[in-house]
Structure 1
Amino acid sequence: MSLTNETLASLVRPDSVHKRVYTDPQIFELEMKRIYGQAWIYVGHESQVKHPGDYHTTRLGDQDVVMVRATDGQIQVVYNRCPHKGAKVVPDGDGTTGRFFRCPYHAWTFKLDGTHLSAPLKNGLQNTCFDPKHPDFSMRKVARVGVYRGFVFASQAAEGPGLEEFLNGVASSIDNLCDRSPVGEVEVAGGVFRVLQRSNWKVFYENLHDTMHAPVTHESSVVSARSQAQEQGSLPFELLIMEGNGEPYEFWEKLELRAYDNGHGYMEGIFDPAAAERDPVSSAHFVALAEAYGETRAREILGMNRHNTVIYGSGSPHTVFQQFRVIRPLSVDRTLVEIQTFKLKGAPDSVFERALTYANVINSPSSNVMPDDVEVYARCQQGNMTNGGDWISMHRYAGTDRQVENGMVSINGTSELPMRNQFAAWKRFMLNETAAEEGAR
């Protein structure tokens, strides 16, 4: 079956999607061009490249790129390719390249913005069409780079909406993460977890706001946490954050889900911020923020209680526990998730220590929680490869979503509004339509 726009459009209904969107390698290849080749995608945080020559490698869809701090202090993003023989210029990971890039194959060198600098034995290139000023002989730059509060995004499309317009309502989640620092700045710290998942990349985004799965998928960790708490007669933080998934359906139904254009959205927090103020860590954090911003503003900052935010195509920042789960598609059935933890500059050390605890207990590959999700994601992938049916249901509270400024809001916290919103965006990207065009129909 050819991938015409008519075919692609037929795969998404208002309340369901065809399983082919998760299993067809051809669709995956097209997603890399029409979604990851167009949208603003999170590259990294500027704190990962503090000094000129510092670099961080990552991917924009299926493209290897390098984020680097140039000599003028600006952030550049270039494709990780030498124009001579096509070799990757720097290895995967973080490092320092010095004053210029140097290809390990033939020692061609490039300025930190990718511009051609030099090549050995240039006399051998005389009387040829070699022109060091021609872009074909430089490391190619990604079309656009944008920085929002220190978070670096890049778009492979030369034209399109600006970064802030693209982020829309979820920019406030990045703001809140930064504002939780008494000086308004954060930095990546404490190491990074990487988890390889045997599933399509879109499943992770859907699950981030799937409130129906929590008490079911995570039943074993909830039972373990409650058993341990009963045994020791208390519910310390490590057990509290595991036990939180076990709330009854009535609890989840009361949560608010917001959805915005381009597939973004956020879910209301599951931990009561007022109750958190009574613990020593939150109290010390409040004092530090109150000294910087005043008590009223400090309460506003800590009162913005969001559990997961979805920046479609990039991942999920978690403001309360200072994380960014970066989602990188590798193939139609393989996804790499990178969990970055952020330190709030100027905040008490205990706040960062709590964030590390959350990362280890909830997001670590060896935790009692994340493996539950990874297992069911893989089962979704495996089940959708069978002949057991063709359509994926997204019917919960369909047709009841309320329009609000800049987006939609659910009338019930178990609504599948986020999933429907994500696939509405998926369809627009895949058909090369804009949200404005869709709304005008």
Structure 2
Amino acid sequence: MNTYRNRPDAIRALVQEDRVHRDLYLSEEVFALEQQHFFANTWNYLGHASEVPNAGDYRAQDIAGRPLMMVRQADGGIRVFYNRCAHKGTQLVSDERGNAGKFFRCPYHAWTYKLDGTPLAIPIKGGYEGTRLRECESGQGLVALKHVAVYRDFVFVRLGDAGPGFEAYFGEVLQAIDNMVDRSPEGRLTLAGGAMRNVIHCNWKMYLENINDTVHPMSTHESATAAANALWQGRAADEPKPMAMEQILPFGSGYDFFDRMGGRVFAHGHSVLGVNFSIHSNYASLPAYEQAMREAHGAERAADILQRSPQNSVFFPSLSVKGSPQAIRVIRPLAADRTLVEAWAFRAAGAPELLFERAMSYNRLVFSPMSVVAHDDVHLFESMQKGLRGEGNEWVSLHRDYKAGEFDVPTQTTNGTNELLMRNQFRAWAEFMTLDMVEAAL
């Protein structure tokens, strides 16, 4: 049944000011339309330049069902191609990452391409004399994405031609990447330690909105924080904490703490949670590192960088950034009820190894499916995915702290428990889902 295809009004009706319809999470038709429209119209995180340091290095990644590969060029630049041979469509690379040398060679019929995608050689070339191959798309080489942006080594792509340009799309939220990169006295990050991957049987929007949900930790993670508190009780307030304790104990800080941390929303679904402080604000100081930061950036700028430790900065719809610890999560939708979440850690050039250890520790402690935190979330996400099929109520509430006309100002600061941060995501979803959708003729 065609409920939503070529019906932008029906799509927009799924998102109301203070609630959203369950089809946003359950409908396979809606997910198929997201693949076609929404993810084509938004800027999505592809990878990090440090993953392809040398000429010929590639990183393969699917986005919205399209196979892509990020390739380091001979001149040091980065280009992104569709991972398919121009001949029969065979994927040129099947590994997640590697080095192609000076050219790509199709494993099927040995058509080869330069690193910039132009054709290099074709077996039995004489058989194509007098044919239309030169005029055909197949004779032009690999198809490069037109919309690629590399910002402080973070690589983003937009698959379609609709939608705003990179700077206009992200705007002020790019400062969260600046804050993360500038924590390196040399202004350079490198992905390290590999990815921690978790496939969750839930819709991707459940995971993304939970990143801005500050009310759930006290109940969802009650057992984890209770266990940590039991182990740490009776210790002196100024006693240095082991890294795991330093990272887990703040999860039980209480509603008032999370409300006072504050949040900020931006146009196009982006947000920063923890604009005043966060659970990451009180890590042990590192005097030598702080001095190196002052020498690199100046005292005022160094203080500004180090004092800002937001809980999460969301680059809607695919990336969540933590400046401290220096970790990111990447959301990769696979189906209406299946989402791949990747957690990555960065090593900051010129910074002590402890910063990288914090990022790795936090990812293991909080994002690993075997951690004392993530299994709580995963259980509830999958429970929500099943529970929403219950009849009698087709809507998901986003009423908390709702105020009429709240989106008259696209960029604004609010309290940390306000569901405005989630409502902002769904508003953007409706906008970009229907941006290039043409109403079917009656």
TM over 0.5: yes
| Aligned partners of 1:264 and 1:310 also within 8 Å | yes
| Aligned partners of 1:309 and 1:317 also within 8 Å | yes
Going from structure 1 to structure 2, the CA distance change for 1:134 and 1:5 (only over 3 Å counts) comes to closer
| Aligned partners of 1:169 and 1:406 also within 8 Å | no
Matched with 1:120 is 123
Letter matched to residue 245 of structure 1: F
Letter matched to residue 346 of structure 1: G
Could you tell me how far apart the structure 1 residues matched to 2:56 and 2:11 are? 43
C-alpha distance after superposition, 1:407-428 (max 9, x if no partner):
1222x32110011101110111
SS of aligned partner of 1:306: coil
Unmatched tracts of structure 2, length 5 or more:
438-442
C-alpha distance after superposition, 1:330-355 (max 9, x if no partner):
11111111111111111112221222
Matched with 2:217 is 214
Shift in Å at residue 290 of structure 1?
1.5
1:13 aligns with 2:26: no
Shift in Å at residue 406 of structure 1?
5.5
Choose which of 377, 381, 393 in structure 1 pairs with 2:397.
393
Could you tell me how far apart the structure 2 residues matched to 1:10 and 1:158 are? 25
1:340 aligns with 2:340: no
- List aligned pairs for 1:72-83, cutoff 5 A: 72-83=75-86
- List aligned pairs for 1:367-378, cutoff 5 A: 367-378=371-382
| Aligned partners of 2:43 and 2:169 also within 8 Å | yes
| Aligned partners of 1:100 and 1:109 also within 8 Å | yes
TM-score using structure 2 length = 0.92
SS of aligned partner of 2:110: coil
1:302 aligns with 2:306: yes
Compare 78-87 and 155-164 and name the one that shifted more.
Answer: 155-164
Matched with 1:437 is none
Shift in Å at residue 137 of structure 1?
4.5
C-alpha distance after superposition, 1:51-90 (max 9, x if no partner):
1100111122221100010122111111111121211110
- List aligned pairs for 1:175-194, cutoff 5 A: 175-194=178-197
Matched with 2:259 is 253
Could you tell me how far apart the structure 2 residues matched to 1:401 and 1:266 are? 21
Matched with 1:223 is 226
SS of aligned partner of 1:76: strand
Letter matched to residue 13 of structure 2: S
Shift in Å at residue 403 of structure 1?
7.0
Matched with 1:314 is 318
TM-score using structure 1 length = 0.92
Going from structure 1 to structure 2, the CA distance change for 1:104 and 1:310 (only over 3 Å counts) comes to same
Choose which of 158, 161, 167 in structure 2 pairs with 1:158.
161
Shift in Å at residue 127 of structure 1?
2.5
C-alpha distance after superposition, 1:220-257 (max 9, x if no partner):
11111112223887642202211211111111121211
C-alpha distance after superposition, 1:255-298 (max 9, x if no partner):
2111111111010142363x43xx25x33321220221233221
Choose which of 393, 410, 413 in structure 2 pairs with 1:409.
413
* Backbone CA RMSD of aligned residues: 2.1
SS of aligned partner of 1:296: helix
Could you tell me how far apart the structure 2 residues matched to 1:13 and 1:404 are? 15
| Aligned partners of 1:401 and 1:409 also within 8 Å | no
| Aligned partners of 1:145 and 1:154 also within 8 Å | yes
- List aligned pairs for 1:162-173, cutoff 5 A: 162-173=165-176
Could you tell me how far apart the structure 2 residues matched to 1:289 and 1:64 are? 40
Going from structure 1 to structure 2, the CA distance change for 1:206 and 1:248 (only over 3 Å counts) comes to same
